[in-house]
């Protein structure tokens, strides 16, 4: 029974964080954002994940994206744990805020609860959920991973690049697309319009149906 899915406005949550009190809508205003939960501080997969996010923080910043971590531990725990993350990921600093949700309200609101894990007192534990939020503060894309499976931050960069490209041009990205590969032209664009829109041209794949819907272009 989740509370959030793609298309929904991200709730304007208020929380303590390693950067002080954060009011989410103010914090992300004018930026894309990635909000991601982790099961707990001082646990193995999370240490590798938040370290990789620290490594890629500049890459995200360059793309106009704010990063926000989140778990049910308190700020003091986060602050202590960051020393471990930075030691394991030598030379990388955790420059993004990590929110504290000790009452487990935010993780429920954001569909970030792990169904199979409980803390020692029986409380809910966050899953490895990650939502990409657009400039309109709506969820554009979500990963819902369980505690066992660390995320792939290269995939996060890949889909972010796809979303940002589709927000600018009338294109979509085919299966296994990587930045630099050709995109496909959206079905809503006629061939006539496509000639105007993509002056570098496009290639139409010939198919048994004779329908001209598979059109590749470089943007």
Smallest separation, CB 63 to its own copies (Å): 15
Query: Which candidate, 45, 98, 41, places its Cα nearest to that of 68?
Result: 98
Single out the segment in contact with its own copies by CB under 8 A; choices: 63-71, 90-98, 171-179, 190-198: 171-179
Residues touching its own copies: how many (CB under 8 A)? 70
Tell me which residue of 114, 27, 214 sits closest to 11, measured CA to CA.
Answer: 27
Member of 105, 154, 193, 203 binding its own copies (CB under 8 A): 154
User: Does 162 help bind its own copies (rule: CB under 8 A)?
Assistant: yes
Q: By CB under 8 A, is residue 219 in contact with its own copies? A: no
Nearer to its own copies, 19 or 157 (CB): 157
Neighbours of 115 (CB within 10 A): 8
- C-alpha span between 60 and 120 (Å, rounded): 35
- Length of the chain in terms of residues written: 219
**Phi then psi for 153, rounded to 5 degrees?**
-70, -20
- Please say whether the beta carbons of 132 and 60 come within 8 A: no
End-to-end, the C-alpha distance of the chain in Å comes to: 40
Contact call for residue 197 and its own copies (CB under 8 A): no
Please list every residue from 60 through 119 that binds its own copies, using CB under 8 A: 80-81, 83-84, 87-88, 111, 113-116
Nearer to its own copies, 10 or 113 (CB): 113
Residue 91: φ, ψ to 5°: 85, -5
The residues carrying an active-site annotation are 46
Pairing of strands 203-204, 183-185: unpaired
Options 19, 109, 135, 177; binder of its own copies; rule CB under 8 A: 177
Strands 98-100 and 65-71: parallel
Closer to its own copies by Cβ: residue 27 or 71: 71
Q: Which residues bind its own copies (CB under 8 A)?
A: 1-2, 4-8, 40, 42-45, 47-49, 51-52, 80-81, 83-84, 87-88, 111, 113-116, 127, 138, 140-155, 158-159, 162-163, 166, 171-177, 184-187, 205, 207-209, 211, 213-215
């Amino acid at each position: 029974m989740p509370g959030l899915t793609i298309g929904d406005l991200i709730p304007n949550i208020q929380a303590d964080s390693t950067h002080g009190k954060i009011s989410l809508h103010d914090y992300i205003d004018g930026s894309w954002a990635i909000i991601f939960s982790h099961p707990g501080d001082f646990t193995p997969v999370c240490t590798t994940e938040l370290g990789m996010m620290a490594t890629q923080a500049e890459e995200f910043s360059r793309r106009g994206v704010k990063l926000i971590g989140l778990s049910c531990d308190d700020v003091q725990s986060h602050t202590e744990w960051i020393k471990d993350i930075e030691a394991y990921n030598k030379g990388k600093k955790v420059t993004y805020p990590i929110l504290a949700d000790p009452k487990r309200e935010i993780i429920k609101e954001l569909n970030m609860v792990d169904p199979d894990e409980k803390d020692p007192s029986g409380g809910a534990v966050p899953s490895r959920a990650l939502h990409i939020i657009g400039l309109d503060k709506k969820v554009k894309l979500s990963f819902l991973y369980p505690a066992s499976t660390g995320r792939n931050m290269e995939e996060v960069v890949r889909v972010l690049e796809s979303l940002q490209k589709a927000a600018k041009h009338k294109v979509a990205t085919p299966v296994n697309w990587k930045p630099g590969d050709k995109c496909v032209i959206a079905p809503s664009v006629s061939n006539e319009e496509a000639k105007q829109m993509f002056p570098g041209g496009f290639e139409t794949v010939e198919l048994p149906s004779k329908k001209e819907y598979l059109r590749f272009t470089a943007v």
